[in-house]
Chain A
Amino acid sequence: MAAGIARREVMVSAAAAALAGVAGRSTGARAQQKPIRLGLITPLSGPQEIVGRDHLAGATIAVNQINQAGGVLGRTLELETRDDKASPAAGVAASKDLVSSGVNLLFGVLSSGVALAIAPTLKGDDAVLILCAASANELTHEQFTPNLFRASDEAYMRQRALAKVVAKDYAAINSWTAINPQTAIGASNWDSFVDGLNQFYPQEAGHNVEVIDALTVKYGATDYKNEIAQLMRRSAEGLYLGVYGGDAVTMLRQAAPYGLARKFKVLVDPGSEYIVAQTLGKSTPVGLWAGIHWYFGAYRGNAINDALYDAYVKSTGNPFPAGYVGEGHAGVLAYAAAIQRAGSTETGAVIGALEGMSFASCKGKRTFRKEDHQAICDVNMVQFAPDDTAAGWKIVGYRVVDGAESIEPPSPGKALVLNTKRQ
């Protein structure tokens, strides 16, 4: 079995350099066959458009690479893209539209709300969806459906991996608090992080850690001064910055006069990737850690990583591809490997192929668990600091945590039980 997986990995890994491994038919034969259509569902308008564009960029690069290498089963891949606006209703409409157009292999989806809305429709529509960012734990637990897979990390795995890193690197810290958006995923992320603190501080630092209740703010809030003042009065030494993206930028900008970043010994931003550093530049908090779906610098020498990075920089000129680029890319690679394995694009056959399948991606091997369809994959973190370059910031460190060390045992259909006990 291991040898079989290794062979498949080698095939797809080779495809990364030139993605030739999944090819195998002549150009003449390909010309006679219809392309395999993959449906990308992602926000291409609205506040999350920036992430949707990253998904699309990664997926487009993967499709081009595979097609240039000969396609899959002798057929080219074709991308059908729909805008979900990060809205559940628009997401379901996008999914239905793709299915009615004859596209049964779907991937993408940033928002957990969108994923939770689409998931119940997949079985009836005879479609399969590979999530490439949506991280709600429920999707592989109480809302599990056999037609749904997740190639990216889930909230539990990522947040606990972050907790593991801080427990090891900041062992002297005795107390943590947080500021979180009032969203389901915001609460779920924080609870998962606390679960990790409760497990890893005793293991890595040899002591328990105090958890001070999180502050909750409205998603998209325009003013954080009351919360900043409260944080300034707290005794906590570590701050979990659950507000995301532009909200995190607004909050940190408003917090600068208070000296918030200097008060805490470490700040952890679980999901803004480069957004905070790129936006704040020289005002970036020293030592800010951020969770990221894929950090290219951690995988130099990995053929898929290097090919994706080069293609992205060549097409955009941006030397810092967001992690979502890697996730969009991985979604296509997962389907390419599954179709190759199944020898078919039929929903049932592809689901069968995906279950337990390992495939190589820009951040190394990912394996879909047969039981709950969650991929075991690396969790990446990067650390920032301001500097004197024109950009005003630099990466001063990164961590790669094996997801197997922080993931829970599979329990599809059952709610995840978290240890959120305050020490």
Chain B
Amino acid sequence: MLADLAGVVFNGLFSAMVVFIFASGLTLLFGVLRILNFSQGGFFAVGAYLAFSLTRLLGPALPLWRFLAIAVVAGVVVGALGIVTERLVLRRLRQVDGAYSLIATYALLLLVEGIVKLIWGVDVRSMEPPAELSGVWQVGDVFMPTYALFILAAGLALFVALEWLLHHSRLGKLMQSVATDPWMASVLGVDVARMQTWIVVGGFFLAGIAGGLLVPNQALSPSLAGTFVIQAFGALIVGGMGSVRGTFMAAILLCVADSLASTYLPGVPGVFFYITMAALLLLRPQGLMRGAQL
């Protein structure tokens, strides 16, 4: 029973890191620019498909270093797409109501889904993890796939990196100033427009690298774009709308609760994520980390 519980919590933590890795870019964009970027899933899918194609292109062997390098390349390419998106779409949404940005980015999601379909087709595809991440550690009755351990470490590393960047670096302080009061930041000499562009690039880079890292975990199909969007928005909302720390904590709470429920209340799979979300919002309507910066 205890082993069951440990395994279930481990699996919940793995899901939480998947959701957090996906949601980190979303949180960054909302935290600074106040844009609910529904198209994040589309760019996540682009990153995943790019990683899939690059892996195929470079041959059957996939050592860990190449897997990581490909994920970074996918992140850089999607980050570059972020510049285009920022110029053509997001920049125009800064002065309008949030509902408009939601609709516009949803349209962008559909557009990206269509482009993915045009380039990669509608066939289901899949990719193996590198050999180093294909095994499993068994501790007692608890199975811990090495790929899941890797994703746990990656999620934790991403959280620590974002925390350091946002709270302990000069760049982070500038980002916080732009998020808090762009006008005042510009008066004090911050190039706000340029900073906002780089934040979009960062958010898109995170979407791309998430696609590259998570591609061995999911079947690839044009519907991949919508796969994690709802869960990521759930973590974003429960976390306090734009707080990296809040999103991280919310992802853990929601996914571990869902994991426990899927095992001990198996009749209603997937529902408990939303029940927990509703319960947390009833308890803390302002979100877990309201008031915290990013």
Q: Which residues of A contact B (CB under 8 A)?
A: 46-47, 49-50, 53, 182, 215-218, 220-223, 225-230, 232-233, 245-247, 249-250, 253-254, 256-259, 275, 278-280, 283
- Bound CA span A233–B18, Å: 25
Could you tell me if A232 and B143 are in contact, using CB atoms closer than 8 angstroms?
A: yes
Select one of A216, A222, A225, A280 contacting B126, CB under 8 A: A280
Do A279 and B145 form a contact, CB below 8 Å, given A222-B218, A250-B218? Answer: no
Could you tell me if A229 and B126 are in contact, using CB atoms closer than 8 angstroms?
A: no
Could you tell me if A50 and B123 are in contact, using CB atoms closer than 8 angstroms?
A: yes
User: Can you list 6 A-B pairs with a CB-CB distance of less than 8 A?
Assistant: A217-B270, A225-B148, A250-B219, A257-B136, A259-B136, A275-B124
Could you tell me if B8 and A279 are in contact, using CB atoms closer than 8 angstroms?
A: no
Could you tell me if A254 and B122 are in contact, using CB atoms closer than 8 angstroms?
A: no
Q: Which residues of B contact A (CB under 8 A)?
A: 7-8, 11, 14-15, 18, 117, 122-126, 128, 134-136, 141, 143, 145-148, 216-219, 221-223, 227-228, 231, 259, 262-263, 266-267, 269-270
Could you tell me if A229 and B218 are in contact, using CB atoms closer than 8 angstroms?
A: no
Could you tell me if B216 and A216 are in contact, using CB atoms closer than 8 angstroms?
A: no
User: What is the chain A residue whose CB lies nearest that of B133?
Assistant: A257
Residues of A within 8 A of B218 (CB): 222, 250, 253
Could you tell me if A47 and B145 are in contact, using CB atoms closer than 8 angstroms?
A: no
Write the nearest CB–CB distance from B216 to chain A, whole angstroms: 7
Could you tell me if A256 and B134 are in contact, using CB atoms closer than 8 angstroms?
A: yes
User: What is the chain B residue whose CB lies nearest that of A256?
Assistant: B134
User: What is the chain B residue whose CB lies nearest that of A254?
Assistant: B217
Could you tell me if A216 and B266 are in contact, using CB atoms closer than 8 angstroms?
A: yes
Excluding A226-B262, A232-B143, 8 further A-B contacts by CB distance (< 8 Å) are: A221-B270, A222-B228, A223-B18, A223-B217, A250-B126, A250-B217, A250-B218, A254-B145
Could you tell me if A226 and B263 are in contact, using CB atoms closer than 8 angstroms?
A: yes
Do A215 and B11 form a contact, CB below 8 Å, given A233-B141, A280-B126? Answer: no
Residues of B within 8 A of A225 (CB): 11, 14, 143, 145, 148
Residues of B within 8 A of A246 (CB): 124, 219, 221, 223
Select one of A182, A215, A257 contacting B134, CB under 8 A: A257
Could you tell me if B270 and A53 are in contact, using CB atoms closer than 8 angstroms?
A: no
Could you tell me if A279 and B126 are in contact, using CB atoms closer than 8 angstroms?
A: yes
Do A257 and B270 form a contact, CB below 8 Å, given A46-B223, A279-B125? Answer: no
- Bound CA span A215–B126, Å: 24
Residues of A within 8 A of B146 (CB): 257
Select one of B136, B219, B222 contacting A253, CB under 8 A: B219
User: What is the chain B residue whose CB lies nearest that of A225?
Assistant: B11
- Bound CA span A256–B131, Å: 12
Could you tell me if B145 and A257 are in contact, using CB atoms closer than 8 angstroms?
A: yes
Could you tell me if B124 and A245 are in contact, using CB atoms closer than 8 angstroms?
A: yes
* Interface core residue of B126, B136, B217 (most chain A CB under 10 Å): B126
Residues of A within 8 A of B135 (CB): 257
Residues of A within 8 A of B145 (CB): 225, 254, 257-258
Residues of A within 8 A of B136 (CB): 257-259
Residues of A within 8 A of B8 (CB): 226, 229
Could you tell me if B266 and A253 are in contact, using CB atoms closer than 8 angstroms?
A: no
Could you tell me if A229 and B7 are in contact, using CB atoms closer than 8 angstroms?
A: yes
Q: Give 7 closest A-B pairs by Cβ, nearest first.
A: A218-B270, A249-B219, A246-B219, A257-B136, A257-B145, A225-B11, A47-B223
Write the nearest CB–CB distance from A57 to chain B, whole angstroms: 12
* Interface core residue of B18, B135, B218 (most chain A CB under 10 Å): B218
Could you tell me if A216 and B267 are in contact, using CB atoms closer than 8 angstroms?
A: yes
Residues of A within 8 A of B125 (CB): 279
User: What is the chain B residue whose CB lies nearest that of A275?
Assistant: B124
Residues of A within 8 A of B263 (CB): 226, 230
Select one of B7, B18, B124 contacting A279, CB under 8 A: B124
Could you tell me if A215 and B266 are in contact, using CB atoms closer than 8 angstroms?
A: yes
- Bound CA span A249–B215, Å: 12
Write the nearest CB–CB distance from B98 to chain A, whole angstroms: 27
Write the nearest CB–CB distance from B144 to chain A, whole angstroms: 9
Residues of A within 8 A of B147 (CB): 257
